[in-house]
A and B are shown apart, each in its own frame.
Chain A
Amino acid sequence: VSAPLPGTSSAGGAGALHLPAASRRTIEGVAARGYPHEVCGLLLGRPTPGGAEVMEAVEVRNASLERTRDRYRLDPEDFLRIDLRARALGWDVVGIWHSHPDHPARPSTTDREHAWDEYVYVIVSVEQGTATALRAWCLQGGEFREVEVSSDPQPRRQEEARS
């Protein structure tokens, strides 16, 4: 039984999501290749107060086969398998990521209805096959609040600059 991780200094104020550049590339790449379908996955790592420190972003099959363009659903068996692997590494499932094809990277009503406390929800907007924005959200008192996303130590460059 692992004790909760003491607050790390990375969390500034309301909490933050530390998403390594490699995990961010995984999410954006899988989301872009999956377009125009919605794709999804899990974030593995360690919870921090109001946020999380991600070690790995894993792609998980979208089990919502009848509506892959506007819904995602994880097969609980996939969740269980990945959760067991995460715990063997000393990590936890700390969040969920999914794509919004041709929609902003903001949680929908559907997202809110299905959301759990404590998880960080990363949403990546994919427009015409290109990942254009990535934002993170946490449920607080039944409403989503945005969580700051930080990547590796080097200063963030304009990840949306592509012309």
Chain B
Amino acid sequence: VSEIMVRIPTPLRGFVGGAAEVRARGDTVAEVLRDLGARHGELLARLLNERGELRPFVNVYLDARNVRTLGGLQAAVQPGGVLSIVPAVAGGLPEATPSPPGALP
């Protein structure tokens, strides 16, 4: 079983006692996350939905590759690898309220 380093972004550090990095064990990304979840259940709930799938606002990188491009959570991890949790960052302007045709500005 491989032990690898998991990098935690600032917004999720409260779930791991403030640590920027934690270690976890497993042979696949899913096993590593489950191992992490055994100690930090709330963190796991932020990463995976009820069906055990990665939440849409969360990205997981194995070294420099997005695990979504590596076959998902079943991707194999190697000893010495680094798993990075990367928050999805987005936003924007208020939704425009379309004015009806002919309405005054």
Contact with B along A29-64 (1 / 0, CB 8 A): 000000000101010000100000000000000001
Whether the pair A79, B89 counts as a contact (CB closer than 8 A) is yes
**Min C-beta distance of B29 to chain A, whole Å:** 15
- A83 to B87: give the CA distance in the assembly, Å: 11
Contact with A along B32-74 (1 / 0, CB 8 A): 0000000000000000000000000101010010100000000
How many of chain B's residues have a CB under 8 angstroms from any CB in A? 27
Summarize A's interface: helix, strand, loop or mixed: mixed
Whether the pair A74, B93 counts as a contact (CB closer than 8 A) is no
For A111, the chain B residues whose CB sits under 8 A away are 91-92
Whether the pair B20, A71 counts as a contact (CB closer than 8 A) is no
- Out of A73, A83, A109, A119, name the residue touching B11 (CB < 8 Å): A119
User: Which residues of chain A (43-98) have a CB below 8 Å from chain B?
Assistant: 47, 64, 67, 69-74, 76-77, 79-80, 83, 87, 92-94, 96, 98
Given contacts A80-B84, A93-B10, A117-B11, contact A1 B19 (CB under 8 A): yes
Whether the pair B91, A71 counts as a contact (CB closer than 8 A) is yes
Whether the pair A108, B87 counts as a contact (CB closer than 8 A) is no
Given contacts A76-B86, A87-B20, contact A38 B9 (CB under 8 A): no
Whether the pair B20, A114 counts as a contact (CB closer than 8 A) is no
For A73, the chain B residues whose CB sits under 8 A away are 88-90
How many of chain A's residues have a CB under 8 angstroms from any CB in B? 42
- A94 to B11: give the CA distance in the assembly, Å: 9
Whether the pair A38, B64 counts as a contact (CB closer than 8 A) is no
**Min C-beta distance of B86 to chain A, whole Å:** 5
- A107 to B7: give the CA distance in the assembly, Å: 28
For B90, the chain A residues whose CB sits under 8 A away are 64, 71-74, 110, 114
Whether the pair B20, A2 counts as a contact (CB closer than 8 A) is yes
- A119 to B89: give the CA distance in the assembly, Å: 11
For B9, the chain A residues whose CB sits under 8 A away are 83, 93
Does chain B have a CB within 8 A of A115? Answer: yes
Whether the pair A108, B93 counts as a contact (CB closer than 8 A) is yes
Q: A2-B20, A3-B18, A38-B93 are in contact. List 16 more A-B contacts (CB 8 A).
A: A1-B19, A38-B92, A42-B89, A71-B93, A72-B91, A74-B88, A74-B90, A77-B64, A79-B86, A83-B7, A83-B84, A98-B91, A109-B94, A109-B95, A118-B11, A119-B10
